[in-house]
Structure 1
Amino acid sequence: MFLSKQKKNQGERGNRLLVSVTVMGSAGPIRFVVDEKELVANVIDMVLKSYAREGRLPVLGSKIDNFVLYSPIAGTEALSPWETIGSFGVRNFMMCKKPGVDKEIEQDATAAINRKGSGSWKAWFNKSLNLKVCSH
């Protein structure tokens, strides 16, 4: 029975890993299962999508080029986006924004908020003020 589970886990894609990615400035790590042959760039994309789906703060955006992934064994060097995630032999990673992209992400977030609810509360407020009171 143990062998059948092991074979199922090691299909054509290879081993699957439970990775934990801590986003700098976030409350806690994001955990998900990923194929060990998955590229670092794809893992960053998965983290950003999961982060947004969970509604975490601060808002990060969705451009994978704005972020880097670090491994505890690589030291201060960021991982190459073209390396496979399983090649490092670790399962815990740290994701940070690249220097200088804070303003760009902030502008994207404010633009998204403005598009999403541009004046909806203002329209409601004006409508409530313009209600006519009927006199008997």
Structure 2
Amino acid sequence: MAVYRQKKNQGPKGKRLLISITFLGSAGPIRLIVNEEELVAAVIDTALKSYAREGRLPVLGSNLNDFLLYCPSAGSDALSPWATIGSQGARNFKLWKKQRTEKVEDDGRSSTQAITTNEDGNWKAWTNKFLKLKISSH
């Protein structure tokens, strides 16, 4: 009777990959092991959870729809959330937060402006708030 053994780098769903995701504004990349058939949206979700678990700054949030995953070697277009991560043939990615757009009414004309501010505030405001909690007033 022959016993079937899976190859070392294959899981139940297929080949596993070690990928590196760099977050815009963060100190360094996060490395994850994912299946090559895993969707880009699932990889973004896993990366955001790992980023938050490690307590990294800046605080990004957890809504995966607010982020885009780019493959630097594949061009300037973001990866489709429904594509598989292994379809790119790359192991290094960049994760960027989408820019919010806001309609502005100006003299009866409407225009769209990109808002790039972080909803959670910037790092200086967070640091000041944190330090004020630690220092008691007399």
TM-score w.r.t. the length of structure 1 is 0.71
Percent identity of the aligned residues?
57
Higher RCO structure (Cα 8 Å, ≥6 apart)? 1
Decide which structure has greater strand share: 2
**Residue matched to 1:106:** 120
CA offsets, 1:57-107, max 9 Å, x none?
A: 000000001000000232110000000000000110000011127546427
C-alpha separation in 2, matches of 1:64 and 1:102: 17
Structure 2 unaligned residues grouped into runs of 5+: 101-114, 127-132
RMSD of Structure 2 on Structure 1 (CA): 2.7
Conserved 8 A contact 2:11-2:35: no
Count of residues in correspondence between the two structures: 114
Structure 1 unaligned residues grouped into runs of 5+: 108-112, 114-120, 130-136
CA offsets, 1:18-55, max 9 Å, x none?
A: 01000010000000100110000000001100000000
TM-score w.r.t. the length of structure 2 is 0.70
Decide which structure has greater helix share: 1
C-alpha separation in 2, matches of 1:89 and 1:78: 15
**Residue matched to 1:35:** 35
